[in-house]
A and B are shown apart, each in its own frame.
Chain A
Amino acid sequence: MSKQSDSEDFESADEGQTLQTKKEKKEIKKLAASTKNVEQTDGWDDFDIEETEAVEISKSNKKDETEKPTSQDTGWEAFDDWGENDNNKVEEVKPNTKSTKDVHKSQEQADIQAVTERLAAATTKNEGWGWGGWGVDSLLSTATAGISTLTSQVSQGISTVLETGIGAPDPEELARATKEKAVNQETNVEEQPTAQDTTFQFGSLLSGVTKFVETTGTKVISGGLDTLEVIGKKTMEVLQDGDPGLVKKRAMLGLDTEKPILSQILREAKERADEEDKMREAKREAKEVHYETLFDDFEGLVHLEALEMLSRQVSMRIEERLRSADADKRQDIKETMQQVAELCEMPEDDDDDDDDEEHGDSSKEDVFHERLQRATRDIGLKLQFQPLIKQYTDILQWLDATEVVNEKAIYKRAVSGLAQATALCVELYHKTAEMLLVKNRRSTADEADALTQLTVVLSKHVSEMATLFTEKLSKQPSEDKELINNYITNVFLEAGNSSKYVENAFQLTLPIIQIGAV
């Protein structure tokens, strides 16, 4: 525990000592206002408002007390309920608990005193108790003490906070107080039969401390918020007392003097409607250029799904073969699988820009076609690259077109172009996988090599396509540089997305390559 809490405890001890000696008159006066049963006073009822459970338990303790006043343990258990400072109080009171009925009665008195002491605390700042000692609970009990005095007390309490410069009550303190209270409730319940054993209390306190440390985090937040909420609610209650909706008070403050002007209201309503329309339009447009939706529309998603199904089924078949094989054979299969997987590892990015120069005068789409064919030369299948080439050609033509388009149109075309290219890539992997599965003679190493090369080419393809679009975007003569930059960033993000889909599709194809070798 921190130093801070030590000092708190010290202050609490102070409180315990002063309880029985100070301000008895005041307490009695306050008590007179309440009913004869302690637990029915406002102060008591509201005291533990943030922890109803605690209130219940302490109430039952109180009842115990009244039922069998001679019981030695109930008295100081109820005392425990007073809150954060009880470990010290326990020490203080211990001798009392072992003494006579009279002492016990005075003990009970002390309990009452503790409540009223707190009630009085906020009004008597000069008592010299630090805020640290009794924390927000006191503020809380003040706030809930009684409706008649509440307003002044709350404001006083708040001004005290401001004056002392502590600011808002430390959430840690708050949590500590709340938690310790809860912990003490627990120990009470556990201890009922063995309450006479004084050392036990100490031990459970220790465990309580560790428990508290574990759960402080959540308590800090809930405790703090609960307290604020209670204060706020009570304040509103008082303010609205006899004045629902604060009509009179607002009238008094002159807040409602301005009479509504119909035209003004109508204008505002129209503005609001326009705003909503704009937002709806923006949403619709956002949907229009939504990469995943477009990818789905271009059948990328369904090809990916089908490829996943194939991949899963083939993986299951491999598993089956592994299961049915004997130990030696199993090891052999595993090694083969590993080797194929290694063959399919993506090579490091070595910029082979030289092959761009080779095709100096051929068109971009031809270069792309050439690359695809070279990559898959040895795969032993007749793959259909036409859809990919055609899509690329369309995009290149669109980009070269001289007609002036705005940046938004370029952006839309870029996202949809990337989504379509990616969908076609996934389709290519799916088709390749299907054809490999019905292929008569498998040549695993060649297939692995070809598909790895293909993946390199396709990844390069989508990133090149993105670059073409971003170049076009950055050449755009526009005032709104920020918008253009946003678009450029998004295009690159979607290109990254595309690469991921492509690599994912390649990974899904891996078992289909592997099964050819095992």
Chain B
Amino acid sequence: MAYAYLFKYIIIGDTGVGKSCLLLQFTDKRFQPVHDLTIGVEFGARMITIDGKQIKLQIWDTAGQEAFRSITRSYYRGAAGALLVYDITRRDTFNHLTTWLEDARQHSNSNMVIMLIGNKSDLESRREVKKEEGEAFAREHGLVFMETFKRECLILTMRRMALRSVLSTRRQEALAPAVRVLAVQRAGAAVRCCAAHTERAKRG
């Protein structure tokens, strides 16, 4: 399928918070989960149209297990955004958010948008993390926040995220016309132009 832009979003968070479920909700892909646990990373994609342009949102759904942590770290590069997910029925998944955030900040480029998602908000009776806590955490760390379990809500939010990515890409294009070529070609502008960022961040 042809597209004008490709944006990469990475889903991170503890194991079992429902990352793969979010991916399934967001994409129409019918994949057969051969294994219950994600190995390394799985992919999903969805086309959206902004300004008459076809935009491919490519989701990298990472494994939450500790063993895959270092592998996940190598996948941040070039992501336009990250979906940091916790389970509102499990306090520990909320407590681990800081380490996830550190990972994300350290291995991605500085202008990556991070969205905090409190998942499984349909299980109100088992709630362990208050919505206000999630909001406070997001405010403190400059994240976009939402609680969800609904597909429509997620798709709408992703669309807004994509809009931000488009805008930021346009800004970069205005600054450096060469970026546009890369962006249109594939893999999103961020992949290439942020390589230097990442390298610098690692060294620093």
- Chain A positions near chain B (C-beta within 8 angstroms): 287, 293, 296-297, 299, 301-303, 305-306, 309-310, 312-313, 384, 386, 430-431, 434-435, 437-438
Q: Is there contact, CB below 8 Å, between A310 and B71? A: yes
For this complex, 9 residue pairs linking A to B, each with C-beta atoms less than 8 Å apart, are A301-B186, A302-B43, A303-B43, A306-B40, A306-B41, A309-B77, A386-B34, A431-B39, A435-B39
Given the known interface contacts A293-B2, A384-B34, A434-B40, the answer about A306 and B68 at a Cβ–Cβ threshold of 8 Å is no
Which residue of the partner chain, among B40, B73, B186, contacts A430 with CB atoms under 8 Å? B40
Chain A, Cβ-Cβ closest to B72: A434
**Within the complex, what minimum Cβ distance (angstroms) separates B94 from chain A?**
26
Q: Is there contact, CB below 8 Å, between B74 and A309? A: yes
**Within the complex, what minimum Cβ distance (angstroms) separates A2 from chain B?**
45
- The residues of A that contact B75 with a CB separation of less than 8 Å are 306, 309
The A-B contact count (CB < 8 A) is 43
Q: Is there contact, CB below 8 Å, between A438 and B43? A: no
**Within the complex, what minimum Cβ distance (angstroms) separates B83 from chain A?**
17
Give the most central of B2, B67, B74, B186: most A CB within 10 Å.
Answer: B74
CB of B176 closer than 8 Å to a CB of A: no
Given the known interface contacts A434-B41, A435-B39, A437-B71, the answer about A305 and B2 at a Cβ–Cβ threshold of 8 Å is no
**Within the complex, what minimum Cβ distance (angstroms) separates A253 from chain B?**
50
CB of B143 closer than 8 Å to a CB of A: no
Interface set, chain B 2-60, CB cutoff 8 A to A: 2, 34, 39-41, 43, 45, 58, 60
Q: Is there contact, CB below 8 Å, between B39 and A434? A: yes
- Taking residues whose C-beta sits less than 8 angstroms from the other chain, chain B's interface range is 20 to 34
- The residues of A that contact B1 with a CB separation of less than 8 Å are 293, 296-297
CB of B187 closer than 8 Å to a CB of A: yes
Q: Is there contact, CB below 8 Å, between B58 and A302? A: yes
A254 to B68 Cα, complex, angstroms: 83
A106 to B36 Cα, complex, angstroms: 102
Per CB-CB distance, the 9 closest pairs between chain A and chain B, nearest first, are A434-B40, A313-B74, A438-B67, A309-B74, A302-B43, A299-B43, A310-B74, A434-B71, A437-B71
- The residues of A that contact B34 with a CB separation of less than 8 Å are 384, 386
**Within the complex, what minimum Cβ distance (angstroms) separates B37 from chain A?**
11
- The residues of B that contact A310 with a CB separation of less than 8 Å are 71, 74
A384 to B32 Cα, complex, angstroms: 12
- The residues of B that contact A301 with a CB separation of less than 8 Å are 186
- The residues of A that contact B43 with a CB separation of less than 8 Å are 299, 302-303
Q: Mark B109-153, 1 if CB is under 8 A from A, else 0.
A: 000000000000000000000000000000000000000000000
Chain A, Cβ-Cβ closest to B76: A309
Q: Is there contact, CB below 8 Å, between A287 and B68? A: no
**Within the complex, what minimum Cβ distance (angstroms) separates B48 from chain A?**
16
Chain B, Cβ-Cβ closest to A439: B67
**Within the complex, what minimum Cβ distance (angstroms) separates B19 from chain A?**
16
Q: Is there contact, CB below 8 Å, between A434 and B58? A: no
**Within the complex, what minimum Cβ distance (angstroms) separates B143 from chain A?**
24
A309 to B71 Cα, complex, angstroms: 9
- The residues of A that contact B68 with a CB separation of less than 8 Å are 434, 438
**Within the complex, what minimum Cβ distance (angstroms) separates A501 from chain B?**
16
- The residues of B that contact A297 with a CB separation of less than 8 Å are 1
**Within the complex, what minimum Cβ distance (angstroms) separates A299 from chain B?**
5
- The residues of B that contact A305 with a CB separation of less than 8 Å are 187
**Within the complex, what minimum Cβ distance (angstroms) separates B25 from chain A?**
19
A313 to B71 Cα, complex, angstroms: 9
Chain B, Cβ-Cβ closest to A287: B2
A296 to B58 Cα, complex, angstroms: 11
**Within the complex, what minimum Cβ distance (angstroms) separates B92 from chain A?**
22
A345 to B187 Cα, complex, angstroms: 31
**Within the complex, what minimum Cβ distance (angstroms) separates A428 from chain B?**
12
